A = this chain, B = another copy of it.
Amino acid sequence: MKITAKGEYGVRAMAMLARDYRAGPIPLREIAVREGISYQFLEQIFLPLRRAGLIASVRGAKGGYTLAHPPEKIRVGDIVRALEGPIAPVDCVAEGKNNSCRRKNICPTRGIWEKLRDTMSEVLDEITLADVATMAQKTSEEGS
């Protein structure tokens, strides 16, 4: 019932891009150092994020990555889906895979997983990167 390191790192990295939005592209190496994540592993994470249209890249010297949209337009659910695939507690109720399970009509537990899937999606789609930035703000104030 866990997301992978890719998902976790991806959300953290995107949160950083959100914080520094409009500051020009940030090189991946810097993100890796600041978050304490392997540079080469982060590369693997940013590839699908770019292909999903969540980030934009600038190649060459002085290049790096920026959010492809303002933070309030990017939902945590988008990031998780790009890195982990469709949200689903069990395969047979995966988002976008409707009606494929042949036991659909006789499976007594299907309803559980559908409800769980929908709730998980809702939570992750309700939270945008702008919200994450705000939450971080609040947390560090409390923390001091």
The chain A residues found within 8 Å of chain B, CB to CB, are 1-3, 7-8, 11-12, 15, 19, 76, 80, 84, 87-91, 104-112, 115-116, 119-120, 123-124, 127, 132-133, 135-136, 139-140, 142-143
The answer to whether B124 and A116 touch across the interface, beta carbons within 8 angstroms, is yes
The answer to whether B140 and A88 touch across the interface, beta carbons within 8 angstroms, is no
Alpha-carbon distance between A3 and B88 when the two chains are bound, in angstroms: 9
Q: Is the interface of A mostly helix, strand, loop or mixed?
A: helix
Q: How many copies does the complex hold?
A: 2
The answer to whether B87 and A1 touch across the interface, beta carbons within 8 angstroms, is yes
**Most B C-beta atoms less than 10 A away, residue of A12, A106, A108:** A108
Residues of B within 8 A of A119 (CB): 119-120, 123
CB distance from A129 to the nearest CB of B (A): 10
From the candidates B19, B88, B110, B135, name the one contacting A1 in the complex (CB within 8 A): B88
Residues of B within 8 A of A106 (CB): 139-140, 143
